[in-house]
C-alpha cells in the first residue's frame, strides 16, 4: 500500500514557519510582505483559488489585497492597473489569476507584470531563467510538487519521470525543475502515440490532464511514485483527481491524495515566494 504524500500536512508546517517568520518582522517593526491578486470576471474555480490565497496570506500575516474586476474590462485598463501596482513600492508580489476573458491577451498581461514582483513565475523573463537553469521566481504548482517529493525523501536524481500534460503552468516548468534535480524527464500529452507504454516506464508519474480518474492501475509501474495534479468533479459530484486513487494506491510506493495533495502546496509556494521578497531586506536590517 502506497504511503500518502500529504500536501496538507506539509503545507500547514511550512505556513506555520512562514507565520513565525513574519510575526518576528512585525514585532521588530520591519516591513511586511504585501501580495496583490487581480481577479477578472466570475470564473467559479478562480474565485475559490483566490479566496484560498487570501486566506493563507491572512493566516501568515502577509498583507493582501484582492482586486476584483468586471469581465468587461478592456486590456488597456487592466495593463494600466498592473502598471500602477508595478510602480507601488509597498507591493512585493503581484499576480493576475488565469484564465482571462477573451478580449484580453494573456501574453500581454504576463509580460506587463514586473518580473521582480511575478510571484507566479509566469513572466517570460522568469520562464527563461528557469529554462537556462538559474531559476528565480518559479510557477507554484511545479515548485510545490518538487518540494513535496523532496520533503518526503523521494530521490529525484537519475529517476525516470513521466509528466502527462504540457501546460505552461504545470508540465513545462516542472520538466525544467526536475532537470535541475538531475531527473530524466519525458512529457506526454494528448497526441502521444502510446501513453501507457510511456507511463509504464515511469519511476515517478505526474498527471496533469484534467480527466477525472483516467489513470488506472494498468498505467502504473509497480512501486512508482504517483503525483496527481487533477481537480475534477466525478459523476457523483465528488472532488477527484486524474488518477483512480483506489486502484493505484495498492501498487504505488507513494501517492498524493486529492484533495490534500498538490493543491495546498501550490498556495504555500506562492506564500513562500511572496515572503522571500522581503526576507533578504529584513535579514540585512536585523544584523
Ligand atoms: N490559474 C490556475 N492556476 C493558476 C496559478 O497558479 N496562477 C494564476 N495566476 N492563475 C492560475
Q: Residue 147 and residue 161: Cα distance in Å, rounded?
A: 15
Q: Hey, what's the cell of 165?
A: 500534460
Give the DSSP H/E element, type plus range, for residue 163.
strand 160-164
How many CB atoms sit inside 10 A of residue 74's CB? 10
Per residue in 141-150, pLDDT (tens digit) is 999 999 999 9
**Mean predicted lDDT score pLDDT of the chain:** 97
Closest among 63, 39, 41, 40 to 51, alpha carbons compared: 39
- What are the C-alpha distances in Å from 271 to residues 179, 215, 216? 24, 31, 33
Best of 53, 54, 120 for a ligand 1 pocket test (most atoms within 8 Å of beta carbon)? 120
For residue 95, give the ligand 1 atom closest to its CA.
9
- Residues 218, 199: Cα–Cα separation, whole Å: 9
Cα–Cα distance measured from residue 130 to residue 142, given in angstroms and rounded to the nearest whole number: 12
Question: pLDDT (tens digit, 9 = 90+) per residue, 77-104?
Answer: 999 999 999 999 999 999 999 999 999 9
Active-site residue, from 15, 34, 53, 129: 53
Q: For cell 490565497, name the residue.
A: 53
Q: What distance in angstroms lies between residue 170's CA and the mean position of ligand 1's atoms?
A: 10
Alpha helices in the chain (DSSP H): 7-27, 44-60, 75-87, 106-112, 124-131, 140-151, 171-180, 195-199, 245-248, 262-285
Q: Looking at residue 244, what is its pLDDT?
A: 98
Asked whether residue 184 carries a pLDDT value surpassing 70, the answer given is yes
Q: What is the pLDDT of residues 36-74, one digit of tens each?
A: 999 999 999 999 999 999 999 999 999 999 999 999 999
CATH number of this structure's domain 29-114: 3.40.50.10860
Banded pLDDT at 229 (limits 50, 70, 90) = very high
The pLDDT confidence band at residue 285, using thresholds 50, 70 and 90, is confident
Whether 120 sits among the annotated catalytic residues: the reply is yes
Contacts of 95 (CB under 8 A, 6+ apart): 35, 36, 37, 38, 113, 118, 119, 120, 122, 270
> Does the beta carbon of 95 sit less than 6 angstroms from any atom of ligand 1?
yes
Task: Reply yes or no on whether 92 is catalytic.
Answer: no
Q: Which of 92, 120, 203, 242 is catalytic?
A: 120
Q: Which helix (H) or strand (E) covers residue 186, if one does?
A: strand 184-188
Instruction: Please choose from 97, 107, 274 the residue to mutate so as to test ligand 1's pocket, defined by most ligand atoms within 8 A of CB.
Output: 97
The pTM of the full predicted model, rounded to 2 decimals, is: 0.97
Ligand 1 centroid vs 92 CA: distance in angstroms?
A: 18
- CATH of the domain spanning 140-262: 3.40.50.720
Give the list of residues 6+ apart from residue 206 with CB closer than 8 angstroms, or none.
145, 161, 162, 163, 164, 165, 174, 227, 229
* Whether residue 287 has pLDDT greater than 70: no
Q: What separation in Å is there between the alpha carbon of 287 and the centre of ligand 1?
A: 36
Q: In a mutational test of the pocket of ligand 1, which residue from 169, 270, 272 has the highest number of ligand atoms less than 8 Å from its CB? A: 169
The response to whether residue 120 sits with its C-beta less than 6 Å from ligand 1 reads: yes
The answer to whether residues 163 and 175 touch, using CB atoms and an 8 Å cutoff, is yes
Residues 14-23, mean pLDDT to the nearest whole number:
98
Distance 22 CA to ligand 1 centre (A): 24
118 pocket-lining for ligand 1 (C-beta < 6 Å): no
In terms of Cα–Cα distance, which of 52, 29, 30, 28 is closest to 39? 52
Distance, in Å, from the CA atom of 85 to the CA atom of 64, rounded to the nearest integer, reads 13
Cβ atoms of 2 and 252 closer than 8 Å: yes
Q: Is 30 a catalytic residue?
A: no
**β pairing state of 232-233 and 239-240:** antiparallel
Compute the average pLDDT of residues 162-177.
Answer: 98
Ligand 1: atom nearest CA of 96 is 9
Which residue out of 15, 34, 92, 97 is catalytically annotated? Answer: 97
Domains 29-114 and 140-262 share a fold: yes
Give distance in angstroms: CA of 29 to centre of ligand 1. 32
Structural domain boundaries of the chain? 29-114, 140-262
pLDDT at 157 over 80: yes
Match 502527462 to its residue by C-alpha cell.
Answer: 164
What number does the ligand 1 atom closest to the CA of 266 have?
A: 6
Convert the pLDDT of each residue in 248-271 to its tens digit.
Answer: 999 999 999 999 999 999 999 999
Amino acid at each position: 500500500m502506497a504511503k500518502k504524500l500529504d500536501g496538507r500536512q506539509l503545507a500547514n508546517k511550512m505556513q506555520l514557519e512562514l507565520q513565525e517568520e513574519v510575526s518576528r518582522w512585525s514585532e521588530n517593526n520591519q516591513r511586511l510582505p504585501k501580495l496583490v491578486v487581480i481577479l477578472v470576471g466570475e470564473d467559479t474555480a478562480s474565485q475559490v483559488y483566490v479566496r484560498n490565497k487570501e486566506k493563507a496570506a491572512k493566516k501568515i500575516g502577509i498583507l493582501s489585497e484582492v482586486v476584483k474586476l468586471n469581465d468587461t474590462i478592456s486590456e488597456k485598463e487592466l495593463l494600466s492597473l498592473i502598471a500602477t501596482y508595478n510602480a507601488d513600492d509597498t507591493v512585493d508580489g503581484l499576480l493576475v489569476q488565469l484564465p482571462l476573458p477573451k478580449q484580453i491577451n494573456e501574453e500581454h498581461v504576463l509580460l506587463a507584470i514586473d518580473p521582480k514582483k511575478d510571484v507566479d513565475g509566469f513572466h517570460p523573463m522568469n520562464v527563461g531563467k528557469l529554462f537556462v537553469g538559474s531559476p528565480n521566481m518559479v510557477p507554484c504548482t511545479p515548485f510545490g510538487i518538487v518540494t513535496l517529493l523532496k520533503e518526503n525523501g523521494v530521490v529525484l536524481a537519475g529517476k525516470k519521470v513521466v509528466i502527462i500534460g504540457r501546460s505552461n503552468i504545470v508540465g513545462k516548468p516542472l520538466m525544467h525543475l526536475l532537470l535541475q534535480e538531475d531527473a530524466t524527464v519525458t512529457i506526454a500529452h494528448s497526441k502521444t502515440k502510446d501513453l501507457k507504454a510511456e507511463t509504464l516506464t515511469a519511476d515517478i508519474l505526474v498527471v496533469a490532464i484534467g480527466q477525472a480518474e483516467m489513470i488506472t492501475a494498468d498505467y502504473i509501474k509497480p512501486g512508482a511514485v504517483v503525483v496527481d495534479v487533477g481537480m475534477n468533479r466525478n459523476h457523483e459530484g465528488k472532488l477527484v483527481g486524474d488518477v483512480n486513487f483506489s486502484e493505484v494506491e495498492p501498487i504505488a510506493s507513494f501517492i498524493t491524495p486529492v484533495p490534500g495533495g498538490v493543491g495546498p502546496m501550490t498556495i504555500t509556494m506562492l506564500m513562500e515566494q511572496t515572503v522571500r521578497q522581503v526576507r533578504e531586506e529584513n535579514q540585512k536590517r536585523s544584523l
